[in-house]
A and B are shown apart, each in its own frame.
Chain A
Amino acid sequence: KNQVEQSPQSLIILEGKNCTLQCNYTVSPFSNLRWYKQDTGRGPVSLTIMTFSENTKSNGRYTATLDADTKQSSLHITASQLSDSASYICVVSPFSGGYNKLIFGAGTRLAVHP
């Protein structure tokens, strides 16, 4: 069964600190993995996308890593800001050659405190 598991469920950090969010997936065959940021009450916005051949992808203070062998990904946030408070969702797309159904994780809710 295609699944995406994220940890931790929630996280509180102080402004300026770094943090790392985890994503494990059992999706096969694998096409790509994307991290989304979702502010409360808003739609998700894409941060990074990686195919199986990519190990790391950065977007400003956000750096995603991918280990396709162990089927794990992480999202590292550097020098956190109050505006980083949001849910971060890991989304995996299986390779199907046609319609690519997205498999969503439940998300990690991050709170950055001053």
Chain B
Amino acid sequence: SQTIHQWPATLVQPVGSPLSLECTVEGTSNPNLYWYRQAAGRGLQLLFYSVGIGQISSEVPQNLSASRPQDRQFILSSKKLLLSDSGFYLCAWSVAGGPTYEQYFGPGTRLTVT
């Protein structure tokens, strides 16, 4: 069966510090991968998605970047965090070539920028 992992589970970082969140998927090959951010009282906002190694599409301009160094690894980064980067970050995957609305979510990372 497929599983998706995210770490860390929680993170408190000062403004201006760098960020690296990691997501890995097991049990499937060449998945589509997604990063979402969930702000309090708001719907999930798609940040990035990837259909393959090194292939990243950005949905909204922001202070964040994403990379996919390996088939089942997706990384969300920032060089300098802003207060507005605080939120709950979710990674998701879907089957390559399958319907992209069939997405499975990871457990999330709670980021607090102080």
Contacts and interface: CB of A to CB of B under 8 A. Distances in A.
Contact of A43 (B43, B90, B99): B90
Nearest to B46: A101
A102 B110 contact: no
A16 to B, nearest CB: 28
Chain B at the A interface: SS class? loop
Q: How large is the interface on B (under 10, 10 to 19, 20 to 34, 35 or more residues)?
A: 20 to 34
B107 A42 contact: yes
A106 B42 contact: yes
Given A32-B101, A99-B100, A102-B103, A42 B43 contact: no
Interface in A50-71: none
Contact of B106 (A31, A43, A100): A43
A76 B33 CA distance: 31
Contacts, number: 47
B105 interface: yes
A43 B105 contact: yes
A7 to B, nearest CB: 13
B105 A45 contact: yes
Given A41-B110, A43-B105, A44-B105, A4 B100 contact: no
B44 interface: yes
Contact of B100 (A41, A89, A100, A105): A100
A106 B101 contact: no
Interface size class, chain A: 20 to 34
Interface of B: 41-46, 49, 59, 88, 90, 92, 99-101, 103-108, 110
Interface of A: 4, 9, 31-32, 34, 41-46, 49, 89, 91, 93, 99-107
9 contacts: A31-B101, A43-B92, A43-B108, A89-B44, A99-B100, A100-B100, A104-B44, A105-B43, A107-B43
